[in-house]
Amino acid sequence: MSHTRIIIIIFSFLFFSAGVFAQPKVDGHWEGAITLFGNDLGIKVNFKTDPDSIRGTIDIPQQNAKDRNLIHIQLVLNKFSFDLPVKPSGATFDGIIKDDSITGSFAQASFKGTFYLIRGELKQEENTPGPDTAQMLLPYDEQEVMFTNGENKFAGTLTLPRTQGKHPAVVMITGSGPQNRDEEILGFKPFRIIADNLTRSGIAVLRYDDRGVGGSTGKTVAESTTEEFAGDVIEAVKYLKTRDDINPDQIGLCGHSEGGVIAPMVASKYNVSFIVLIAGTGVMGIDILKEQSKLIMKADSATDEEVNGYTKMLDMVYDAVKNDKGWDEIKIRFRESMERSYKKMTKEQKKSVGSKEQYVNGMTDLTMSEFTSPWMQYFMTYDPYPALTKVTCPVLALFGGKDMQVPVKQNEKPLRDALTKAGNKDFTIKTFPDANHLFQQAKTGNPVEYATLPKEFLPGFLDEISGWVTQHVGIVK
């Protein structure tokens, strides 16, 4: 649903539906950042492919490191990993390459974070304040905070207005897949921008790293379910209620994509002041998967036969999830698809993906692991409608007219009908016609555009959120 797990799964099907998979090229200059504990550490990387290996170096300007050699560089299909040999323990980068971007996880000793790289040089705006300068210029305070849910510990950032008193607050809820507190994708940090806008308007904002991401601990997101994430949100709200600078009666939720599913789950059984749903869904997960895959595959020039074949495969997976049987047949179908895909490759493409056995086994196992994960099985069978019919607090729901991941035509009416059935007297639903799933000003809405669009929201989006929230809370003057 978000730029997240669902995109990865859809793209993993696109290559065998289209019948061809070409291993990406990594040669050249890349720039990006490591995100650790909510802070960015800029990196510059260069790769060069030799006949039997890939060589690479990394610069980390903030640590005065230049041309440090990378080791254990491996590119298998679209999985790309490399290590930086540093004492006392090495640093590991494990990512996925798509077009001109690489995103993934970073680990060094017990520290875990994320990283991203964009091919080429990142453009820096002239006269843009550096991190330290920007912090000093902020008209509000930032605090690093921690809360728990059972054995899971969550690290987050709380932004607070500087006026004295008990402030209204918002808890941010990320979309699907492992997300840091900024819900960062390709250098775009939606939650940091939203938090900045709301806090400047007098509203405290808590955003935190997902389970097993950044400074948070716990089992991975794939091993958890949406319902478990809802429990994390409740604990975040409880934490805010313990603070003397937060108004316990004016704490709301703001969720994006899967976060827009979680917010109503919480609000249906736990008292919150309001919820903001950014590309939240109104239909079952299987229906989301089928519709978004159709739209994205069509945008990538897939034939009707390919789209129908993928849809039938999703139906088979859904039946297997519901009935807990049929997985052996599905694995056979996956393997057959991969074998057909390999057979249609050119000699150069076959050379780039390795042996037929390596390609077929690797891609079959990857696809099976995605669809048999606890997260996916829960998501496919979850229907958000019943929870929405129990939401009576104020609701703001925003959709993107060009969103291919949570299509407005599929989700707006069911969400509206559910809130009406709940007897909710205060809900607002608005569609931004030119917005994609990240609420950027989109050309087509295809997820492949995300990396090329400006890392900013389209006009009016932030004002819509802050304006609506401030109308529903009391701002401390």
pLDDT tens digits along 224-239 = 999 999 999 999 999 9
Q: What are the pLDDT digits (tens) for 317-338? A: 999 999 999 999 999 988 988 8
Confidence band (pLDDT; 50, 70, 90) for 38?
Answer: low
Per-residue confidence (pLDDT) for residue 133, from 0 to 100: 41
- Choosing from 341, 370, 399, the residue where a domain stops is 370
Selection from 273, 276, 280, 277 nearest residue 472 by Cα:
273
Tell me whether residue 16 is in a domain: no
More confident residue, 363 or 424: 424
Per-residue confidence (pLDDT) for residue 19, from 0 to 100: 36
| Domains in the chain, number | 2
Kindly state whether residues 328 and 197 are assigned to the same domain: no
Kindly state whether residues 199 and 71 are assigned to the same domain: no
Tell me whether residue 477 is in a domain: no
Place of tokens 């959120």: 465
Confidence band (pLDDT; 50, 70, 90) for 130?
Answer: very low
Kindly state whether residues 31 and 145 are assigned to the same domain: no
Confidence band (pLDDT; 50, 70, 90) for 126?
Answer: very low
Report whether pLDDT(132) > 60.
no
* Cα-Cα end-to-end distance for the chain: 38
DSSP characters for 84-140? E--SSS-EEEEEEEETTEEEEEEEETTEEEEEEEEESPPP--TTPPPHHHHHHH-SE
Per-residue confidence (pLDDT) for residue 352, from 0 to 100: 67
**CA 264/CA 275 separation, integer angstroms:** 7
Structure-token pair, residue 80:
């790309």
**CA 149/CA 412 separation, integer angstroms:** 32
Tell me whether residue 451 is in a domain: yes
Q: What are the pLDDT digits (tens) for 310-319? A: 899 999 999 9
Average pLDDT value over all residues in the chain: 87
Per-residue confidence (pLDDT) for residue 87, from 0 to 100: 63
Per-residue confidence (pLDDT) for residue 209, from 0 to 100: 94
Confidence band (pLDDT; 50, 70, 90) for 430?
Answer: very high
Tell me whether residue 446 is in a domain: yes
Selection from 185, 180, 194, 182 nearest residue 254 by Cα:
194
Confidence band (pLDDT; 50, 70, 90) for 395?
Answer: very high
Q: What are the pLDDT digits (tens) for 262-294? A: 999 999 999 999 999 999 999 999 999 999 999
Identify whether the C-beta of residue 72 lies closer than 8 Å to the C-beta of residue 82.
yes
**CA 123/CA 118 separation, integer angstroms:** 11
- Choosing from 370, 397, 417, the residue where a domain stops is 370
**CA 334/CA 15 separation, integer angstroms:** 12
**CA 21/CA 341 separation, integer angstroms:** 7
Q: Select the highest-mean-pLDDT range: 26-35, 177-186, 265-274.
A: 265-274
Tell me whether residue 438 is in a domain: yes
Place of tokens 């789209």: 307
CATH number of the structural domain spanning residue 149 = 3.40.50.1820
DSSP characters for 39-83? EEEEEEEEEEE-SS-EEEEEEEGGGTEEEEEPEEEEEETTEEEEE
Q: In the predicted model, what is the mean pLDDT of residues 336-362?
A: 80
Kindly state whether residues 219 and 269 are assigned to the same domain: yes
Tell me whether residue 3 is in a domain: no
**CA 280/CA 418 separation, integer angstroms:** 13
Kindly state whether residues 158 and 71 are assigned to the same domain: no
Kindly state whether residues 278 and 351 are assigned to the same domain: no
Kindly state whether residues 397 and 416 are assigned to the same domain: yes
Tell me whether residue 377 is in a domain: no
Confidence band (pLDDT; 50, 70, 90) for 37?
Answer: low
Kindly state whether residues 267 and 397 are assigned to the same domain: yes
**CA 46/CA 274 separation, integer angstroms:** 47
**CA 277/CA 324 separation, integer angstroms:** 32
User: Dihedral, CA atoms, 247, 211, 263, 265, nearest 10 degrees?
Assistant: -120
Kindly state whether residues 140 and 113 are assigned to the same domain: no
Kindly state whether residues 278 and 419 are assigned to the same domain: yes
Tell me whether residue 401 is in a domain: yes
The answer, yes or no, to whether the previous bond of 414 is cis (omega within 30 of 0) is no
Selection from 475, 450, 470 nearest residue 98 by Cα:
450
Identify whether the C-beta of residue 185 lies closer than 8 Å to the C-beta of residue 337.
no
Structure-token pair, residue 391:
């939401």
Q: Which domain holds residue 43?
A: 21-122+307-370
**CA 125/CA 132 separation, integer angstroms:** 16
Task: Write the CA distances from 392 to 212, 264, 422, 477, integer angstroms.
Answer: 33, 10, 6, 28
Report whether pLDDT(49) > 50.
yes
Selection from 253, 263, 291 nearest residue 408 by Cα:
291
- Choosing from 370, 401, 417, the residue where a domain stops is 370
Confidence band (pLDDT; 50, 70, 90) for 67?
Answer: confident
Confidence band (pLDDT; 50, 70, 90) for 82?
Answer: very high
Which amino acid type is present at position 88?
A: P
Kindly state whether residues 413 and 268 are assigned to the same domain: yes
Kindly state whether residues 111 and 141 are assigned to the same domain: no
Q: How long, in residues, is the chain?
A: 477
Report whether pLDDT(134) > 50.
no
CATH number of the structural domain spanning residue 349 = 2.40.128.120
**CA 315/CA 329 separation, integer angstroms:** 13
Identify whether the C-beta of residue 277 lies closer than 8 Å to the C-beta of residue 264.
yes
Q: What 3-state class would DSSP assign to 259?
A: helix
